[in-house]
Structure 1
């Protein structure tokens, strides 16, 4: 979701930097940003993201001034209120349904870039609004469209709860999404519910259950759907965690075949539309987990594509994960120094969501086992940035 910037942002950034007697290079080291990126921010050549502004606020002790100069993401609650006023007690119009579905796509497209805690209230309000309309007077066709919209919102809400490690809430909304999908006879939402459960149990270390759920999702998902591709990729991850390199490679080969002729979707950032670029990212993760020697080359290519300028790129959450993947591959290749640097960049970006902290913990454990002294720097950052200010090692799955 794009942000606009107050023209005073660059002036304020320079003022706070100079007040701390920091050069652009020094600030870059502290903030894990390139000197050129910071220069572009100060001169107004590039607009900062809200996350970058908040991070610089913290580094420079700016008291929220910088973040205040960056527009907040659009709150779709206002749209929901408008829709409610228009619908009132009358039948739901086609325009209302079209705008609800547009709102669902907007929220799903915000998922890769928006902080989970910021996205959750927006999803919650949209879901509540759909629920109110379902309680009103609707035709059978209108009801099905509302059920489908509610199903997508419920599975998205469950995913955000998982990211925040709120698993009881996630389970409740996955059940709701499944029920809504069954009522609407919507196989793809049902498959996404299973795939989302597979990801959740995989992050908790229950790899066999993740494998079973991924298989169920593939059988439920419509042929050629994004859900089937994602579930197949999830199967590969489960095999990698189990340690079966042969099964991992076979599952990845199936993903490659499924995506071979796949067109780039209109909104590639949409969480429930498989972007062919995701295949490379999942391959990098999976090979790194499997300890495959080919992981380093794939992971480097993915990171270069996501973040060509070293400024976290347009998809900061994916960039953070890509750094963790490459770090893990580098440790296995005997390059723990670079692995530490990449891990530090990922953690300090603030884009490693709570459900992914076990991946940071795994990289930390690996570099500490290597004996490289720089591992202490990564541990300090993990303690500083981990949810609840706890060392991420506490979050490692069994």
Structure 2
């Protein structure tokens, strides 16, 4: 300190100085929340561009003189934005880019001391594995995420992802164990302030996961009941869809139930409508649609409407990944 010519108080005061005002941090937090709330319905490419732009702005802010608390706040907001961008990249079919962004979000969460961000990064890995057919990978990622963030909303979703994986493995008991664990955790959490935020789990979202499990297990009555609840919750009074991606998977579920009951026309109608949505998560949509196509091909392989649906499904599957690079 003698070498600096400054006393202790002056040194500490300088360490606490900042070029960044609280208003900027507040505006950034509001913007991050808004973007996370727009995930369900905003065009994917638009959301990707905006999310990346705000990550770039945060990079610039990190170059300024900041307090330790401000530095952590910026890392936290960057972590949430990276999670969002990674989800959108995966929706668009950019698997490599999505994985890189997911890893960046994990690092940001760890550096900022935000276990929930790290937990969501594990949840994204579970989702990636599920849609790529790596069900054991989904279970491992789910368990890792619950270890990192055991008492948060993401732990509920991680339990649900594990349940979906167990359903596809064919272990009914483990499905029920995971679903019961998720419901129990959800009941212990306070009702979220903003259920529009993609990184918030509410009862309607958990119904969406249960629907998927019961469709795979062949519990048609339960699957249909949950599917109708999902569509009702995801549609407002005017008929506008608040959750088009969830609604698409709910319609595929209704299509699977209809196909199993021998109503081919209804099954195809549900399947075709699911493929027409403007806001899509391509990997998830293809995973569920292929489950419907398998039932239709098994029971009605020569039906002209079935063949037309399968052609449309192949068209969606052959679309190249969309990026803004």
Q: Tell me if both proteins adopt one fold, taking TM over 0.5 as the criterion.
A: yes
1:284 aligned to 2:211?
A: yes
1:328 aligned to 2:256?
A: yes
Tell me what 2:308 maps to. Answer: 377
Decide which of 180, 188, 192 is 2:120's aligned counterpart: 192
TM-score (norm 1): 0.70
Does the Cα contact within 8 Å between 2:244 and 2:280 map onto a contact in 1? no
Shift in Å, 1:171: 1.6
Separation (CA, whole Å) in 2 of partners of 1:349 and 1:185: 38
TM-score (norm 2): 0.85
Question: SS of the residue aligned with 1:388?
Answer: coil
Tell me what 2:60 maps to. Answer: 132
1:64-75 pair list within 5 angstroms: none
Tell me what 1:237 maps to. Answer: 164
Deviations 1:99-149 (A, max 9, x none): 111111111101011122221000000111111111221110100000101
Separation (CA, whole Å) in 2 of partners of 1:231 and 1:109: 20
Residue ranges of structure 1 left out of the alignment (5+ in a row): 1-89, 391-398
* More moved, 379-388 vs 117-126: 379-388
Separation (CA, whole Å) in 2 of partners of 1:222 and 1:99: 30
Q: Give the paired residue count.
A: 300
Residue ranges of structure 2 left out of the alignment (5+ in a row): 1-17
Question: SS of the residue aligned with 2:319?
Answer: helix
Shift in Å, 1:349: 2.3
Separation (CA, whole Å) in 2 of partners of 1:245 and 1:280: 17
Tell me what 2:293 maps to. Answer: 364
1:132-171 pair list within 5 angstroms: 132-171=60-99
Separation (CA, whole Å) in 1 of partners of 2:233 and 2:281: 21
Question: SS of the residue aligned with 1:338?
Answer: helix
Aligned Cα root-mean-square deviation (Å): 2.2
Asked which structure has the greater RCO (Cα within 8 Å, sep 6+), the reply is 2
Tell me what 2:10 maps to. Answer: none
Deviations 1:203-253 (A, max 9, x none): 000000111100111111141x11111111111111111111111112111
Tell me what 1:104 maps to. Answer: 32
1:172-211 pair list within 5 angstroms: 172-211=100-139
Shift in Å, 1:197: 0.5
Separation (CA, whole Å) in 2 of partners of 1:331 and 1:263: 39
Shift in Å, 1:261: 5.2
1:1-398 pair list within 5 angstroms: 91-223=19-151, 225-260=152-187, 262-293=189-220, 294-307=222-235, 311=239, 313-356=241-284, 357-371=286-300, 373=303, 374-383=305-314, 385-386=316-317, 388=319
Cα pair distance change 1:102/1:389, threshold 3 Å: closer
Question: SS of the residue aligned with 2:40?
Answer: coil
Cα pair distance change 1:231/1:366, threshold 3 Å: same
